[in-house]
Structure 1
């Protein structure tokens, strides 16, 4: 593989240009250029949440169902802050570029992401075309699993004491039994996650992939520490012969010379590719991304 960065960007653009379908496979690094915090390592996490740092509570200890049972106002202080942050975050320009490329392709586009932040929907991607494999912070479920219900968190507006890291207003409740509501997010050590919404998304994703002839995967900000996105990419390469453009400033290596790895941040890499694809960021296709028509 060429080590010339210009050549690598040209090859990435060529892979995208020849595709009839685009799958965006995104990890946490996709949101960094929008200003979202990087939880990489305890130091990075505690920089974002100093109240938890003072308590010596790391990401794995707060992002788990046990935290909601032992200290719900602290757990919802963390998740409530994130929910409010994601609601006011403006997705960076790279989201719009990906959206434009996919709309121009004959078979459209879809998203597979381990992120729970809803940024792809905020950027204009059809919610029906997004598969959130770890769930969504914008949806709630009952902590007691009293039913299969999953509902939007639209009516919950968290007010967080950032100095203490705790929720100040009323805890969200299950509308069916009154028990504590928790995010419909797959947490660490989570045996109580309700996967029904994610399973429906997965079914729509399979339908999209069935219609793809020349699939390109643009994998952005997905590392090996939590390999959900990497595993998806690998499977699509093995089963569908998908071509891969991997964008990751720290882990950009690809296994095949057929594919391209770009050691860059998401926004910069996508904007550079866009300069080599002047015709693809324009007129949208009338095809619904998951219609298969």
Structure 2
């Protein structure tokens, strides 16, 4: 086999996470060789069956250590960074991972002379009061300064079989006597299917996405937080009361729960700040074609996917009669 016939090598930082594994699978179907850069390669062997023998390799890399980032990028033809944090823990801070780490990946890609796709989030803003959104915004600015042709993708809430959104509240509906409506449940979301986001990433690796732009990826429908909870209850065949939770109360709960060691907080004060703003594709992105539709991808309806993995939360699982409730 000549060198020109060797499939291109794509390095995926954070490839073992929820979105990352779907990106890896989509790239593998296209025939790419994939180098998955993760902190714990020994915990990422579940990725290898997503491709052919030898197609997916695992390497150790930590975005807080530049040498490991450079080593992971070396020899690659393209780089994808989908590392992100929902909440800080120990040394994994928003500043360290989402800003410093993203800058390190961009600098490594520039040094290697290869392209980059970076996964950000709708709401990224260097002026935000939320540390999550602020570091996402700073990362975007730094990346475009380092690599002006980089592709930046901002998804809304991403849903799919292993998501930490619909699954979280479906499990809460199964265990808790009531569901919280933070801020009255009025915040609007545009949930996007994980495979649609992965397809957008793969098209960028294919060279089909114009660089130097920030794309906003939203699903087929815009729904309020309460409407999303209503959908979850309908799919899981449960009846549940709602308890309005003012933002200041939710923030207090987040601050207190974050102080408890070794316990994942149900919500953080930073997430409460995010819930004060809608998480939907902007009018500017729609007008300029910086959306899934603009990339030629038809958003998947949540109603077509959610029952396939939320049915396990029904009182009798998949055998629950439609319309019955706990």
Bucket of the pairwise TM-score, normalised by the shorter protein:
0.3 to 0.5
**Relative contact order, higher structure (CA 8 A, sep 6+):** 1
TM-score computed with the length of structure 2 as normaliser: 0.30
